[in-house]
Amino acid sequence: MILSNLLHRPIRTVVSILAIAIEVGMVLLVVGMTTGLLHDAARRVEGLGADIMVEPPGASFFFGLGWAPVPIKVADRLAQIPHVLAVTPVLFQSNTNVGSGVNVIWGIDPASFDRVTGGFVFLKGGMFSGPYDALVDDLYAKAHHVKVGMTISLLNHDFRVAGIVEHGKGSRLFIPMATAQDLASAHDKASIFFLKCTDPGYTDDVMKAVHQLAPQYQVISVREYMTLMTANNLPALDAFITALIAVAVIIGLLVIFLSMYTTITERTREIGILKSLGASKGFIMTIILREAAVLAAVGIVGGFLGALGAKRVILASFPTLSVDLSVEWAVWAALLALGGTMLGAFYPALRAAQLDPVDALAYE
């Protein structure tokens, strides 16, 4: 009965399923892309191999917000702390380029950067040889069709691509520290310091020492940083995700509401017939709700498949992005879609159940 009703109005059925699928797919992709972005950034920091990050007061460890560069000299003092193997300063610069989004460019000092991170893996080319040389990672290179020796525009200046490095070490774009300082008019300054201990076991001791040395600085271990890089810890991002999910769920709910509402109007007579056969209110409600549940179930599966398909397309077209589709969120998206569907179908189902049988039978 439910199936034959759904098949009887194929367009309505398909549109309803599509709405649910889009709802589910959108939730999965929004969450997947934002967590993907965060995890990706976090993984790249982890990939540096540093143990501790030291930032000036007021800065955010979530790169991109409120940088107040501090004297690079601090690095020398940090390096003298016992059990510190190496310290490397980095100066952040954001590069807004039409068509490529926002990239954080790292100004680095190759020598100390290599000591902390163990050095880049060069896939092509090599380290900077002049002030206007840049390194890009392989994903950036793939996304922007960059080759060694090419000129790319960063911070409104032309840079020569000196090398393409394996991704996973901090940023996707690197330029020499001095050049970054020049362009930012931040001479002898840095945004952050990465510390490597002689052994990760000394991390806590070194953190304490840094704290004593520069109490106003923010000190965080990379391990803790990794746990903080979730949307929940970024209020703005969390609100953004919540808002998008709410919009998706509400749209799904409204489409189902409208779909079921028109259905019961259309089927008023049929409901009257069922009532004349002795169908109870519960029976009628169950029919309508089950029908909605079938729409939701098919839509949810469609949404899953759509999200997987979209992920492939996104990764193929934007190699620098990453999309983390989690089972946990798939369950959440399914529950939200099902809940929204039931909520949307509830009122129409109630209306159907409460129809007067004689009026319903007389309905044209």
Q: Which residues of this protein are in contact with other proteins, per CB under 8 A?
A: 1, 4-5, 7-8, 269-270, 272-281, 283, 356-358, 361
Interatomic CA distance for residues 307 and 21, integer angstroms: 9
**Nearer to other proteins (CB atom), residue 328 or residue 364:** 364
Q: Of the two residues 99 and 278, which places its CB atom closer to other proteins in the complex? A: 278
Token pair recorded at residue 53: 């990050």
Closer CB to other proteins, residue 10 or residue 215?
10
State which residue, 295 or 330, has the beta carbon closest to other proteins. Answer: 295
- Residue 341 CA to residue 338 CA, distance in Å, equals 5
CB of 262 to other proteins, least distance (A): 16
Cβ closest to other proteins, residue 188 vs residue 359:
359
- For other proteins, which is the closer residue by CB, 215 or 278? 278
Strands of the chain, DSSP E = 52-55, 70-71, 84-97, 101-108, 122-125, 133-137, 151-154, 157-165, 173-176, 189-190, 192-197, 218-221
Write the burial class of residue 54 (CB in 10 Å: 0-12 exposed, 13-18 middle, 19+ buried): buried
Q: Which is nearer to other proteins, 8 or 312 (CB)?
A: 8
Ramachandran quadrant class, 168 (left: phi over 0; alpha: psi -120 to 50; beta: rest): left
CB 27 within 8 Å of CB 245: yes
| Cα R_g (the chain), whole angstroms | 29
For residue 18, the minimal CB distance to other proteins (Å) is: 22
* Euclidean distance between CA atoms 206 and 195, whole angstroms: 9
User: Helix 235-266 crosses helix 327-354 at what angle (to 10 degrees)?
Assistant: 30
What percent of the residues of the chain are helix, what percent strand, and what percent coil, each to the nearest 5? 55, 20, 25
Shortest Cβ 272–other proteins spacing (Å): 8
Rounded to the nearest whole angstrom, what is the least distance from the CB of residue 273 to other proteins in the complex? 5
> CA-based angle 335:341:344, to the nearest 5?
140
Q: Residue 257 Cβ, how far from other proteins at the closest point, in Å?
A: 22
| C-beta closer to other proteins: residue 196 or 267 | 267
Shortest distance, position 7 Cβ to other proteins, whole Å:
8
Q: How far is the CB of 10 from other proteins (least distance, A)?
A: 12
Complex with other proteins: residue 5 or 100, whichever CB lies closer: 5
Listing DSSP states for 214-261 in one string gives -TTSEEEEHHHHHHH-SGGG-HHHHHHHHHHHHHHHHHHHHHHHHHHH
CB distance 116 to 92 below 8 Å? no
- Nearest approach in angstroms of CB 259 to other proteins is 16
How near is the Cβ of 99 to other proteins at its closest, in Å?
Answer: 52
What minimum distance in Å lies between the beta carbon of 301 and other proteins? Answer: 24
User: 270: how many CB neighbours lie within 10 A of its CB?
Assistant: 18
Measured from the CB atom, is 123 or 279 closer to other proteins? 279
Q: Is 278 left (phi over 0), alpha (psi -120 to 50) or beta?
A: left
